[in-house]
């Protein structure tokens, strides 16, 4: 006789932890699959072994939230089936049954689920520029992971570039950790920061923290520039500096910053591949310039046994992720006949955060003109080593107006990362070439495995769970 199927949560960040907490309170024992070594997600990432650093030194102003979330998860451990270091790399389509393909301790397993809550989080959105594949160039998220989980910096003299609140936060964290921060290069114009004035009326603490980070960086002598576009990473075989242009009242200026590492990124991009493989319908989100799973206010998708929460359902930050994780669990419980009385409160709290997020997006806008100045020889897809020029030639030769057709004719997005790193850039390049909005060129269809798996995968015995 087979075991009864359990609810499964993918991800143990803020959304996954709060979803698990809600299910446990209702008497359920969910399976929690976590790609990380310890629960907390990216924002509240912990080292494998505590290294003596205090919560304050590791998480700054978020120390209290991080500690509360970690403590909540530790209290849950006896009541859940927690599986760290487990990669979910495929989900079966609805007609093929409720099965997840996972890789854990080098062994492939299949596990079933009764309901599934996807709390897959987000990753850095990157755009190509000359030299972005040089050793010593990192994403902002990767540089933050090094600091939180490994207790080290990516270099001794680091420059930070991109757009979004994370840019200033990580630069400040590096400065406090003892690294020399050479520059903060904001690709957004200084004028866009006027929107922070309206944010101050809704979220004064967020604005005050941002000002604190910015002023501390400047008082420490860090070069802060706005309206930046990179021209080239300097150095042979390693980062030695960055040449960039910036807009000023007197026109454009070309400047150089000396550094031995560069961290950059343009806000975050939701990880939606598993929802795609599960057969969920998608919609295009104009604000975030990305396709998201269709969902109702609580997180129900078009597939009746799959729910989404956290940044994997739309970028809104850690506080909103906690709320949406709880809401997704509420939706699942409602669908089982359980009644919740606090839905309105949770929805109102999340709506307030989403209003703040809309303002932040205007203060840190996406650089829509990026490819106007990127040279043709720049690498677009690093896995397949496809240049911008090669992609453009494929577009012209094939009269391409759809992103999957571009993939088929150019191999952009066919590499190890399955387009996770290059799809946003390829979509922007194609929409610009076609002269249409980003949403009109379609979305890159997800393919399993959603993340790289070892070459020896499948060599051992397949372990199945009904």
Looking at residue 384, its pLDDT comes to 95
C-alpha span between 57 and 143 (Å, rounded): 16
Q: 30 near 3, Cβ under 8 Å?
A: no
Looking at residue 466, its pLDDT comes to 37
**DSSP for 14-25, written as a single string:** HHHHHHHHHHHH
**Pairing of β 241-248 and β 228-234:** antiparallel
Side-by-side strand order, sheet with 8-10: 81-83, 31-33, 8-10, 116-118, 306-308
> Is-same-fold flag (8-123+269-360; 126-266)?
yes
- Superfamily of domain 370-441, CATH level 4: BFD-like [2Fe-2S]-binding domain (1.10.10.1100)
Looking at residue 464, its pLDDT comes to 47
Alpha helices in 77-164 (DSSP H): 140-145
CA 195-316-418 angle, to 5 degrees, is: 115
User: Of 387, 404, 406, 386, which is closest to residue 396 (Cα–Cα)?
Assistant: 406
Looking at residue 340, its pLDDT comes to 83
Which residues, 6 or more positions from 360, have their beta carbon under 8 angstroms from its beta carbon?
164, 165, 195, 199
- 8-123+269-360, what's its fold? FAD/NAD(P)-binding domain (3.50.50)
**DSSP for 216-230, written as a single string:** HHHHTT-EEE-SEEE
Side-by-side strand order, sheet with 86-91: 86-91, 99-104, 107-112, 463-464
The burial class, CB within 10 Å (0-12 / 13-18 / 19+), for 359 is buried
| Chunked mean pLDDT (size 10), the chain, 466 residues | 79 98 96 94 86 83 91 97 95 82 90 96 96 97 91 95 94 93 96 92 89 93 96 95 90 94 96 95 95 97 97 95 98 92 94 93 94 95 96 93 96 92 95 95 93 67 46
Looking at residue 458, its pLDDT comes to 53
The burial class, CB within 10 Å (0-12 / 13-18 / 19+), for 39 is buried
Looking at residue 456, its pLDDT comes to 60
Looking at residue 129, its pLDDT comes to 97
Among positive and negative, which fits the CA dihedral 394, 398, 402, 406?
A: negative
Q: Under DSSP, is residue 265 helix (H, G, I), strand (E, B) or coil?
A: strand
CATH number of 126-266: 3.50.50.60
Looking at residue 202, its pLDDT comes to 85
User: Of 75, 92, 65, 101, which is closest to residue 20 (Cα–Cα)?
Assistant: 75
Q: Residue 111: which H helix or E strand, with range?
A: strand 107-112
C-alpha span between 149 and 338 (Å, rounded): 39
C-alpha span between 76 and 146 (Å, rounded): 27
Q: 131 near 232, Cβ under 8 Å?
A: yes
State the residue for tokens 């924002």: 43
Looking at residue 1, its pLDDT comes to 38
Looking at residue 55, its pLDDT comes to 87
Domain ranges of the chain: 8-123+269-360, 126-266, 370-441
Q: How many CB atoms lie within 10 A of CB 87?
A: 18
Query: What residues are paired with 308 via a beta bridge?
Result: 118
* Total residue length of the chain: 466
Q: Under DSSP, is residue 189 helix (H, G, I), strand (E, B) or coil?
A: coil
């Amino acid at each position: 006789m087979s075991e009864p199927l359990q609810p499964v949560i993918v991800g143990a960040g803020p959304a996954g932890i709060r979803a698990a907490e809600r299910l446990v309170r209702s008497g359920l024992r969910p399976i929690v699959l976590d790609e990380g070594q310890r629960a907390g997600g990216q924002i509240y990432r912990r080292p494998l072994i505590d290294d003596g650093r205090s919560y304050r030194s590791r998480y700054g102003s978020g120390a209290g939230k991080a500690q509360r979330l970690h403590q909540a998860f530790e209290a849950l451990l006896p009541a859940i089936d927690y599986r760290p270091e487990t990669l979910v790399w495929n989900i079966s389509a609805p007609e093929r049954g409720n099965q997840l393909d996972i890789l854990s301790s080098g062994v492939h397993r299949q596990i079933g689920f009764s309901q599934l809550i996807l709390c897959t989080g987000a990753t850095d959105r990157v755009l190509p520029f000359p030299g972005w594949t040089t050793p010593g160039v990192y994403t902002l998220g990767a540089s933050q992971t090094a600091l939180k989980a490994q207790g080290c910096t990516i270099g001794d003299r680091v420059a930070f570039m991109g757009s979004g609140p994370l840019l200033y936060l990580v630069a400040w964290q590096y400065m406090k950790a003892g690294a020399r921060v050479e520059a903060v290069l904001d690709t957004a114009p200084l004028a866009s920061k006027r929107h922070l004035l309206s944010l101050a009326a809704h979220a004064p603490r967020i604005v005050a923290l941002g000002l604190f980070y910015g002023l501390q960086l400047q008082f420490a002598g860090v070069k802060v520039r706005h309206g930046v576009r990179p021209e080239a990473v300097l150095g042979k075989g390693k980062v030695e500096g960055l040449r960039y242009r910036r807009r000023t009242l007197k026109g454009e200026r070309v400047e150089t910053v000396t550094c031995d590492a560069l961290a950059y990124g343009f806000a975050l991009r939701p990880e939606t591949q598993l929802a795609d493989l599960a057969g969920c319908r998608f919609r295009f989100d104009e604000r975030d310039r990305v396709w998201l799973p269709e969902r109702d206010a609580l997180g129900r998708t078009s597939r009746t046994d799959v729910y989404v929460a956290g940044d994997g359902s739309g970028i809104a930050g850690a506080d909103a992720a906690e709320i949406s994780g709880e809401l997704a669990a509420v939706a699942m419980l409602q669908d089982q006949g359980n009644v919740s009385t606090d839905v309105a409160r949770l929805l109102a709290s999340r709506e307030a955060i989403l209003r703040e997020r809309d303002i932040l997006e205007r203060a840190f806008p996406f650089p829509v003109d990026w490819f106007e100045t990127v040279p043709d020889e720049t690498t677009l897809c690093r896995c397949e080593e496809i240049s911008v020029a090669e992609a453009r030639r494929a577009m012209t030769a094939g009269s391409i107006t759809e992103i999957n057709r571009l993939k088929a004719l150019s191999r952009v997005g066919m590499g190890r990362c399955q387009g996770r790193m290059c799809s946003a850039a390829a979509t922007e390049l194609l929409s610009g070439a076609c002269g249409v909005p980003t949403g009109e060129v379609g979305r890159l269809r997800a393919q399993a495995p959603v993340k790289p798996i070892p070459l020896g995968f499948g060599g051992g015995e397949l372990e199945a769970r009904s």
